Structure 1
Amino acid sequence: MNNKSDVSQDKSFFGQPRGLSTLFFTEMWERFSYYGMRAILIYYMYYSVTKGGLGFDQGTAASIMSIYGSMVYLSSVLGGYLSDRVWGSRRTVFIGGVLIMFGHIALSLPAGKLALFVSILLIVLGTGLLKPNVSEMVGSLYSAGDPRRDSGFTIFVFGINLGSLIAPLLVGWLGMSYNFHLGFSLAAIGMFLGLIQYWIGGKKYLSKDSLYPTDPLEPGDLKKLGVRSTIGLVAFALVMILMYLLHSLTLNNFVLLLSIIAIATPVVYFTIFLTSKKVTAQERKHVWAYLGLFIAAAIFWAIEEQGSSVLALFAANQTNNHFLGLNISPSWYQSLNPAFILIYTPIFAMMWNKWGKNQPSSPAKFATGMLFAGASYLLMVIPVVLFGTSAKVSPLWLIGSWAIVEIAELLISPIGLSVTTKLAPRAFQSQMMSMWFLADSAGQAVNAQIVKLYTPENQVNYFLGVAIVAIVAGIIMFALVKPIKNLMSGIK
């Protein structure tokens, strides 16, 4: 199915265009590979060398996990740019998948810390190229006004969560029970399978338009891009040289530098949006409204993304994983996120449909979500206070925490994505879409610094402190609901 004019007649995949099947399985396998790797990576980093790990201390391992996630979402900005202006979405997605596959292959080799950092670089770049563009290609399957669009995206999101659900169970079992490198190999195989079906299905069922950039670089643009890229690389190299000369080029300081870049990037974007002459006065109000939502989203993602670092450590160190006759691998808890998303999504969809025009506003949903995010960490204070830091507690505490924070995700994530499209200034629509990914990036950049505070001696203060920040942010957001709604005037 190569011509968009034929798409309304194509109902071969659950009533959807056949191309949706290609993109469904591409993203399912990509998420399988990414979340499978992520489920065991922190354990691989801090397990001793004699146990097949790299021997990092747990705080450093958690910090690397956080900055890794931050860079993945930051690189999505680059992926969107290369797709729009250089390669086109179909080629960009394929190149991204190849980089991801080689990143997992690097981890599958017993090559120590060098392989880890090579893998991180490849997967960060690859995911940045693939993830935003494969979602954009789903939208391109439908003509304007096609009533199947929403249900098509629902099916697509199901594929994302299906891959994310299965991966920690299979990759986690293989990596934790037998050998970490075998687990990473399975993640690489998953991405390989995704690439094969994407290559074959893409030729048959995806529009030829996806082979070409929508806004190709002109010769003058290429020169400007080269100059700006060179300036950026030289500046980064000079900072690295200065750090080396000052004897401060350590892993922790390098992570700090990346954190600063990840937090500074959305600051620069907001400054551009708010000062550009291309933005009307009404659009500027919308950007101010989005700023409040962005800050709340960054705080939420900081908590939600600690599932692969702080809660992963709690799962391994302080959870009784021999429960009701089951031997639970600590990596399996990473399946709770997609599991609860799959459970909650139809409930929330029915709830919003039932309430219709009476449902809460977007800022009110954000504020409520912040309270739930804080509550998920308040719950984690209880077992530590009751049983201490040396006891092994029931896995129900972790399950309960994930159950609560995923309510927050359903109140914030889909709402935030939707409101981003509505509040985007006309002149910066594509770049505004990148902001939603940058909220996650900024939240995880903050995590890269604060997760080092998570120690057995400081657990109560850590969980309580993060919970209070989220709850206070939620209360402030409730106070700002009316002002933000006023700034969003004209937006439903």
Structure 2
Amino acid sequence: MSQFTKKEIVESVPQSGFFGQPKGLFTLFFTEFWERFSYYGMRAILVFYMYYEVSKGGLGLSESTALAIVSIYGSLVYMSGIIGGWLADRVFGTSRAVFYGGILIMLGHIVLALPGSLTLFFISMGLIVLGTGLLKPNVSTIVGDIYSEDDVRIDSGFSIFYMGINMGSFIAPLTVGTLGLKYNFHLGFGLAAVGMFAGLVLFVLTKKKNLGLAGTQIANPLSPVERSKYLKIFLSAIVVLGILIFVSAQQGWLTFTSFIALVGVLGFLIPFTYFFVMYRSKKTTADEKSRILAYIPLFLASVMFWAIAEQGSTILALYADKRTNLDALGFHIEPAWFQSLNPLFIFTLAPVFAWLWIKMGKRQPTIPQKFAFGILFAGLSFIVILVPAFLGGSDTLVNPIWLVLSIFIAVLGELCLSPVGLSATTKLAPVAFSAQTMSLWFLSNAAAQALNAQIVQFYSPKNEMMYFGVIGGIAIGLSILLFAISPIILKYMKGIK
């Protein structure tokens, strides 16, 4: 099968038709809109479903266990992106990876919608983990494919794409969250499944016309010999894993605590391995190796940012449910609704940031400086949320405005870091590892949530000032360090701005 050039792929995509962007952005925008609707709708009620009493329709787990499971689940979701990226790069291309992933996600939500046991719950989590690993990194990779390398619209295009992600994320907690908390958790999960189905239908109906060749090419296809080799490795790994699980269960080694520790190790070991493999590969040029080195501090900054931002569905969700006055504004607020604030602020402010980067042109902050701003705001968001306990103690309900302000400040950081990180990843990625490098970007989120699985169990209202203060202080310190070394990072980026 002949390989298309980047120029041929870009020319196959209509280059106008969606807010001045390539028409393919419409397909990717709404596919990701519905995928995020399903994911964040499910996640908005997931922690409550786990720790609410069985009599209230929940699973009756302890709060600390529920917080850790949500963090582990989030880590595995993003960790599985490495598998999805590898399959896209080497087996069936990014477009088919998106389609297959959407089917698995939809099936996972359908299983969650069925009233059942803890076993069904973990089956559904497994399906969603695998499906998101296929879909999430690859749909973002296709966004990069529809732009030429010197297209000045790419950063604003990613910001618009990011706005679509957050539009779906905004609607989800208000609809799925309300349905799940006021009526029945399983009805809420069922609505999430409907959302993923809508995304699949739109993708299938519009991809040929709008995306052209984008996503259809296998970047680094397996040879027949390699196919046989990797099939044997895969089957052997399944057998070994099965034996390890059986023996560990029999010996009592397979506990929830040991699993948390294992995920924590994998969260950092897997990205380290990928950095090493890409850097040492003969397919990676000298300039690409330099860019990989530049990418490492950006990756670590992203881990710090997401370690704070992803606690919106764990610690801040619990804070909303247990520490916040939910009747303070004249009507009852469902705790899941606070999870709509992050995407609300993002799709409100994303066009402003997209305009700002274009307006500033060459005067805008460099990529490392934008990352530094990102973790600075993340740290400040945790400093803000400790103020109510400082002023009124930990035994009184907090005005919801404090939680709103904390989320707003974190969003300022997210808009400095996340869409810029997506764009930077497509620019810094070695050609032979394009989809896998995007998976590596999402592994920063996996590492962050693997870390969170260890630390969220230490949170309690009595020690929340120390909890928020220590984490926020570390983030602010790292932002100052990143500002200081930004010129060095930029040098290693070899012309990428």
TM-score by length of 1: 0.91
Selected match of 1:420 from 399, 418, 425 = 425
The AA in structure 2 aligned to 1:271 is F
After TM superposition, the structure 1 = structure 2 runs for residues 133-282 of structure 1, keeping only pairs within 5 Å, are: 133-141=138-146, 152-202=157-207, 205-207=210-212, 210=215, 213-280=218-285, 282=287
Selected match of 1:92 from 93, 97, 110 = 97
Contact 1:32 1:167 in 2 (8 A): yes
Return the alpha-carbon distance in structure 2 between the equivalents of residues 368 and 25 of structure 1.
29
1:440 paired with 2:445, answer yes
TM-score by length of 2: 0.90
After TM superposition, give the deviation of residue 11 of structure 1 in Å. Answer: 5.1
Contact 1:7 1:143 in 2 (8 A): no
The AA in structure 1 aligned to 2:327 is H
The C-alpha deviation readout for 1:203-258, integer Å capped at 9, x for no partner, is 65543675564443321111121233234334433443443243121223223222
The AA in structure 2 aligned to 1:47 is Y
Q: In the alignment, what sits opposite 1:456? A: 461
Return the alpha-carbon distance in structure 1 between the equivalents of residues 438 and 402 of structure 2.
36
Selected match of 2:121 from 112, 116, 119 = 116
Return the alpha-carbon distance in structure 2 between the equivalents of residues 489 and 213 of structure 1.
27
5+ residue gaps, structure 1: none
Return the alpha-carbon distance in structure 2 between the equivalents of residues 6 and 484 of structure 1.
33
Contact 2:278 2:284 in 1 (8 A): yes
After TM superposition, give the deviation of residue 406 of structure 1 in Å. Answer: 1.0
After TM superposition, the structure 1 = structure 2 runs for residues 470-489 of structure 1, keeping only pairs within 5 Å, are: 470-489=475-494
Selected match of 2:349 from 326, 335, 344 = 344
Distance 1:454 1:97, change over 3 A: same
The AA in structure 2 aligned to 1:455 is S
The AA in structure 2 aligned to 1:318 is R
5+ residue gaps, structure 2: 1-7
Contact 1:8 1:143 in 2 (8 A): no
Return the alpha-carbon distance in structure 2 between the equivalents of residues 186 and 146 of structure 1.
38
Name the stretch that deviates more: 354-363 or 69-78: 354-363
Q: In the alignment, what sits opposite 1:29? A: 34
Selected match of 2:333 from 328, 336, 359 = 328
Return the alpha-carbon distance in structure 1 between the equivalents of residues 91 and 290 of structure 2.
33
After TM superposition, give the deviation of residue 129 of structure 1 in Å. Answer: 1.2
Contact 2:307 2:448 in 1 (8 A): yes
Contact 1:93 1:133 in 2 (8 A): yes
After TM superposition, give the deviation of residue 57 of structure 1 in Å. Answer: 0.8
Contact 2:10 2:145 in 1 (8 A): no
Distance 1:4 1:281, change over 3 A: closer
- CA RMSD, 1 decimal: 2.6
Percent identity, aligned pairs only? 51
Distance 1:7 1:307, change over 3 A: same
Q: In the alignment, what sits opposite 2:3? A: none
Distance 1:139 1:269, change over 3 A: closer
Return the alpha-carbon distance in structure 1 between the equivalents of residues 297 and 474 of structure 2.
15
Return the alpha-carbon distance in structure 1 between the equivalents of residues 159 and 409 of structure 2.
22
The C-alpha deviation readout for 1:304-346, integer Å capped at 9, x for no partner, is 1111001000000000111221211100111111111122223
Q: In the alignment, what sits opposite 1:126? A: 131
After TM superposition, the structure 1 = structure 2 runs for residues 8-87 of structure 1, keeping only pairs within 5 Å, are: 19-87=24-92
Name the stretch that deviates more: 125-134 or 421-430: 421-430
The AA in structure 2 aligned to 1:169 is L
Q: In the alignment, what sits opposite 1:312? A: 317
The C-alpha deviation readout for 1:56-80, integer Å capped at 9, x for no partner, is 1111111111111111111122222
Return the alpha-carbon distance in structure 1 between the equivalents of residues 221 and 252 of structure 2.
44
Return the alpha-carbon distance in structure 2 between the equivalents of residues 491 and 421 of structure 1.
11
Secondary structure of the corresponding residue to residue 326 of structure 1: coil
Q: In the alignment, what sits opposite 2:5? A: none
Return the alpha-carbon distance in structure 2 between the equivalents of residues 7 and 487 of structure 1.
33
Secondary structure of the corresponding residue to residue 386 of structure 2: helix
After TM superposition, give the deviation of residue 84 of structure 1 in Å. Answer: 3.0
Name the stretch that deviates more: 151-160 or 126-135: 151-160
The C-alpha deviation readout for 1:86-143, integer Å capped at 9, x for no partner, is 2333332222111111111111111121121111101111111112222333444567
After TM superposition, give the deviation of residue 201 of structure 1 in Å. Answer: 3.0
